[in-house]
A and B are shown apart, each in its own frame.
Chain A
Amino acid sequence: MSARRVAITGLGMVSPVGATAQASFDALLAARSGLSLYTPADAPRPLAVPAGACVDFDPAATLGRARANTMDRYSQLGVTAGLAAWRDAGLAESPDGNRDEWGVAWGTSLGGTLTFERGHRELFLAGRDRLPPLTVVQAMTNACAAHLAIGFGLGGACTTYSVACSSAAIAIGEAMRRVRSGAAPVMLAGGSDAPLAFGVIRAWMALQVLAPGDEQTAANACRPFQSARAGLVLAEGAAALVLEDWERAERRGARIYAELAGFGESCDRSNLVRPDRDGQVRAMCAALHDAGLQASQVDYVNAHATGTREGDTVEIAALAATLGAHAANVAVSATKSAHGHPLGAAGAIEAVATVLALHHGAVPPTLGDAAGLDPQCAGVTHVIGSARKSQRLRAALSNSFAFGGSNAVLAFRAAA
């Protein structure tokens, strides 16, 4: 246990299920899917796949047109979520004191891939020789973090982590370490990704891990832990958390949603895409140890579970190995069934969902039907089909497991 505790005092989110953190969480509790059949804009040939798109997101409404036009969509999503978290924390947008040590830690897997794809289309398909002057600064992977630091006058570390699907979880964990060590009294942490581009979707299709679907089935195409699961569903989105020194938060009377109590990392060190139970166990055990939590204190796990055949069973096996006999009592759900897989943003979106679960004492469900659960995914208490409300949740884990074998687990403790 460290001397400094880390309070979560602000939350923001833009997701396929909602325009704010609370709206998204309410939709998750109501078991509403944000997935639909999606056709990427400017697709050179017909393509429609199930995806989680933030269809109502209007960047000009939150950022202003001029500012929004300087950003790739992944930054538009991220800055909107960051702004929401900042306001939620009750922090002034203009520096009202010394922010030389305050910082940003952001996660993204693909950064400005939409900008790159548009540029490639112009150069290679349209035969143009000129690209928009902002192509570089829109597409660069640290653009979103930079916009956030500039916007709030944060003069400390401004870092971006690109570790596939663990990107945002690692960003949040690293931000926690900065607050805990005293290097930064306040950190804005989270992640964003906007991967719904023709080329990106085609690349994922080539890997044969995307769930199929049509107009009728797209909303329920992502079915983690269920026998009929057929793969993951790509999504876009962003989420942000304000992490703050606990005593500082208390002094200023901030609302504390929960404590970010621990962070664990590991590498599978075995395969680029095949998950490894022991690697995941190492990350979860490290997070519990870092948080000073016993396995028996964990009441909820927001699983990484993307809906792939192998990934979901390995994660359940890892949970059983980590939590022992207590695993059967632990509520487990996969909110990706509703919001899809936003790649580098997944760790942030799921961290916010986990924090709100602790805050409200309510577990959002995996979309689906208990009767359809895969027997190979048994051994935990699946929350499926409908939410579990009025729960006393003491602590929770949020798992993120990336291609490349990089595992990241965040451990949260209820504020009360």
Chain B
Amino acid sequence: MQDTAPVYRFVDERLGIELKSADAATELASLGVDSLSLLELMFEIEEKFGVTVDQDAAPPRKCGELVALIENIAAGKP
């Protein structure tokens, strides 16, 4: 997956967060995104974009960590 723009649009659609412009240090929980929301989001990204998210990786807690996760997925990194 080369183009991550559709993923960010999807995240915005599902969570109401413009990740690219959000402060990297912002806690996802403060935006109403809890562990269940993230679990569902990862599943949806896998299904929609045909990628695999490392189930053993620590779940992102901040906006910047979620951006890094998406960029890693796009780069084919585990």
Contact = CB atoms under 8 A, between A and B. Distances in A.
Interface of A: 60, 64-67, 69-70, 130, 132-134, 137
A415 to B, nearest CB: 37
Contact of B32 (A64, A132, A133, A134): A64
Q: Which of B14, B34, B40 has the most CB of A within 10 A?
A: B40
Interface residues of B, number: 16
A137 B34 CA distance: 14
A70 B14 contact: no
Interface string B4-48: 000000000111110000000000000111101101100110010
Contact of A134 (B14, B16, B17, B40): B40
Contacts, number: 39
Contacts of A65: 13-16
Given A64-B16, A66-B16, A69-B14, A132 B36 contact: no
Given A66-B32, A67-B32, A60 B40 contact: no
A66 B43 contact: no
Contact of B43 (A60, A70, A132, A137): A132
Given A66-B32, A132-B44, A60 B39 contact: no
A70 B16 contact: no
A134 B14 CA distance: 14
Contacts of B13: 65
Contact of B37 (A60, A69, A130): A69
**Which DSSP category, helix, strand, loop or mixed, fits chain B's interface?**
helix
Interface of B: 13-17, 31-34, 36-37, 39-40, 43-44, 47
Among all A-B residue pairs, the 3 with the closest Cβ atoms: A65-B16, A66-B32, A66-B15
Contacts of A130: 43, 47
Contacts of B14: 65-66, 69
Contacts of A133: 36, 39-40, 43
A137 B39 CA distance: 12
Given A60-B16, A132-B44, A66 B31 contact: yes
A133 B47 CA distance: 12
Contacts of B39: 133-134
8 contacts: A60-B16, A65-B13, A67-B32, A69-B15, A70-B40, A132-B40, A133-B36, A134-B39
Given A60-B16, A64-B16, A65-B16, A70 B44 contact: no
Nearest to B28: A66
Contacts of A134: 36, 39-40
A390 B15 CA distance: 47
Contacts of B36: 70, 133-134, 137
Given A64-B16, A64-B32, A69 B43 contact: no
Contacts of A137: 36
A64 B37 CA distance: 12
Contacts of B33: 66
